[in-house]
Amino acid sequence: MNKKTVRDIDIKNKKVLMRVDFNVPLDKDLNITDDTRIQAVLPTIRYILENNAKLILISHLGRPKGKVADGMRLTPVARRLSELLGKEVIKLDDCIGPSVKDKINNMKEGDVVLLENLRFHKEETDNDAGFARELAGWAEVFINDAFGACHRAHASTVAVAEILPAVAGFLVEKEIEYFEKIFKSGQRPFVLILGGAKVSDKIGVIDNLLDKVDTILIGGGMAYTFYAAKGLKIGNSKLEADKIEVAGDILQKVEKRGINLVLPVDNLVARKLQQGVDVKIVGREIPDGWMGLDIGPQTTEEFKKYLSNAETVLWNGPLGVFEIKEFSKGTEQIACFLADLDITTVIGGGDTAAAIAALGLADKMSHVSTGGGASLEYLEGKTLPGIAALNNK
């Protein structure tokens, strides 16, 4: 990575402003249901505190659209972070203004302050220079460790980095290094697993990786747009009708290059997308009135054959509607199979990362990305504004 990291800059006894991604899932009682994103930045936080710095953390949570929303306050995050660090994290009720200034001016070395949800101010998503100046005014150094927000050109990811010395935290460094490793030196055979609902989300990834992959395994709702491109019956399955032609083009491209593109040979189907419904296994044609909601057992075995010969696997998108027990088996079985392989396994963020975390397999993978949209854009070969804004080595 050609960007400076927190190791390349003097932070001793300084005020450090650190952008983190604490956009964590909360239940109806505002309890955190998955603290992966908080755990992921602990190494950077601990390094900063070891250097006697005063640490000011900034994050968004949800999409409050520029208005204060009590259900999107960062209070539960401050509570959880305090537990993980074994010290009090002081949570403020805003991220700018006189009350914030007073608290920051009274910070002692080793103190940790978490400012309130950045997106309570619409200037954050507007990448507003004035708002960024106020945030930058709290500190002498800026560290971006919010990989999940690096694809957003917002005030706290881009404009602040143009004001203060700006470097990457350890999480951002690790994310970029794993993706760069895949692009530059991913060992072959290289297998790409793609799932999720939409072909449209993955076109850029396929195009960008065509010269690097040997096999593409396709599951999830997107498989049925490929079925339609091949003239197969899909019943009531998920379909992006305007992407049938695109799916057909992809099939031609991979054939020309000699890449294996493997579609499900059997499917688990139901009449409704809900828990407790009757399900059955069918082949490559989905009957009328039924919808494909997971890969079938034969497909799982077929996928395993390709994976058992792989050296590098990149997975983005679940293979069924894994949130519902009846349609989770394909994703679960492939995840468990991958966990036992001694190869490089990189999991794109978002739903795939959530599935791996729910199965307790995150530590069995080489790398699980914390950024859904960010990892997708990086895999498409796009420049992430939050990374581009950091100081070069």
User: What are the catalytic residues?
Assistant: 37, 198, 350, 373
Q: How far apart are CA 32 and CA 25, in angstroms?
A: 6
Q: How far apart are CA 306 and CA 363, in angstroms?
A: 23
Q: Which residues pair with 32 in a beta bridge?
A: 26
Q: How far apart are CA 359 and CA 332, in angstroms?
A: 7
**Left, alpha or beta for 286 (phi > 0: left; psi -120 to 50: alpha)?**
beta
Closest to 251 measured CA to CA, from 262, 265, 238: 262
Q: Which two tokens stand for residue 200?
A: 């449209």
Residue 63: partners with Cβ closer than 8 Å, 6 or more residues away? 119
In a 13 Å sphere around the CA of 322, the CA atoms on its Cβ side amount to 25
Closest to 203 measured CA to CA, from 350, 381, 331, 372: 381
Q: How far apart are CA 169 and CA 332, in angstroms?
A: 32
